[in-house]
Amino acid sequence: MGYPDTSGLVSDDLEVIRTASGWLADGVRVALVTVLKTWGSSPRPPGSLLAIHASGHTVGSVSGGCVEETLVASHRKGELGGAYPSLVDFGVEKAQAERLGLPCGGRLELMIELLDSADALKPLLDLLQDGQLTARRVVLESGEVTLQTGGAGVEFEVTGESVTKVFGPAWQLLLIGNGQIACHLARMAISLDYRVIICDPRSEFIEENPLVGVHYSKRMPDDEVRRLKDVARTAVVTLAHDPRQDDLGLTAALERALFYIGALGSRRSAEKRRARLTEIGHTAEQIARIHAPAGLPIGSKRPAEIALSIMAQVTAVRNRVGAGSMAGV
């Protein structure tokens, strides 16, 4: 296909679209399945994708079990979908839910598109490979597809006329300070559909092997924070281990309505940081917005474990779930 290797740095959606586009380029008919609605306890949320190869190979998922098996069997027999997008309802009764591998009483509605042209997904894939946030709108009556790049807006929307799904980095993560933890965090965040920026103006931190899909900045941290757009969807984490860098970033971050602000370090360093920020005029309420030490308490010691704990906390705050949504955890 000629696209750069982003192994380990792709989101679930990008993996589905890239794989399906490759199948279409090989002349294979592909069924693209999208979860529209769920009722009860469903394993996959609305907007989840599944692509099915004519041979039965799949990428992505729409449930936890036999829904995929049923869809694959129908596609192999040529019985899945039609000329225009079709809507399929799975579930409702307990017996059927158990047979389909859904939780008791679970139910989901799916949209099925039968694609047989290499051009069906390539324009979308090109935009995603270029890092563009893209809304794909499918008109249910005609199957007409339009793409629109730009602001995030609603990530997934279903109306009586159309289905719109936003692909690409709808969320943003700024990491202040380069190093092992930043690299691990960047990989995790990209797989979760974040646009990632690593900011480190220090001359000794020159990235010799930059990660694909990561934006690197040599600006001062406060300048980089103030340049951020769509701050309600942005998280900032300081990792520099240098108060001159971290405090600059935090001072600017506290001026903005970011959904997450985190600072790496021990509780002792967090206390010293709190004193410094108080001295320069920040209030206790402002400082309380900082998650410090950043990350959920999972006993993390190694860089990858620390990155995992931080990304888990960012995710909890983003989803407004549990203790992770409280600063200073």
* H-only helix segments in 59-121: 66-76, 94-99
Check whether residue 101 and residue 192 sit in a common domain: no
Q: What pLDDT digit, counting tens, does each position of 207-235 carry? A: 677 888 899 999 999 999 999 988 988 99
In a domain, 214, yes or no: yes
Residue of 310, 254, 256 whose CA lies nearest to 277: 254
pLDDT of residue 154: 76
Report pLDDT digits (tens) over 96-121: 555 555 554 567 899 999 999 989 99
pLDDT of 240 reads 92
Per-residue model confidence (pLDDT) at position 4: 34
3-state secondary structure of 85: coil
**Structural domain boundaries enclosing 314:** 171-325
Q: How far apart are CA 301 and CA 307, in angstroms?
A: 10
Q: How many domains does the chain have?
A: 2
Looking at residue 204, its pLDDT comes to 77
Determine the residue type at 91: G
Residue 81 pLDDT class (50, 70, 90 cuts): confident
- 61 and 182 both lie in a single domain: no
Q: 244 versus 83: which is more confidently predicted?
A: 244
Tell me the longest C-alpha to C-alpha distance in the chain: 71
Residue 212 pLDDT: 82
User: What DSSP assignment string belongs to 228-250?
Assistant: --SGGGEEEEE--S-HHHHHHHH
Report pLDDT for 169. Answer: 78
Would residue 133 count as lying in a domain? no
Same structural domain for residues 113 and 193?
no
Strand 134-139 relative to strand 49-52, pairing? unpaired
CATH number at residue 312: 3.40.50.720
pLDDT confidence band for 152 (50 / 70 / 90): low
Can you give the pLDDT at residue 85?
Answer: 94
Domain co-membership, 114 together with 176: no
Q: Read off the pLDDT band of 56 (50, 70, 90).
A: very high
> What's the pLDDT at 90?
78
Q: 186 with 288, same domain? A: yes
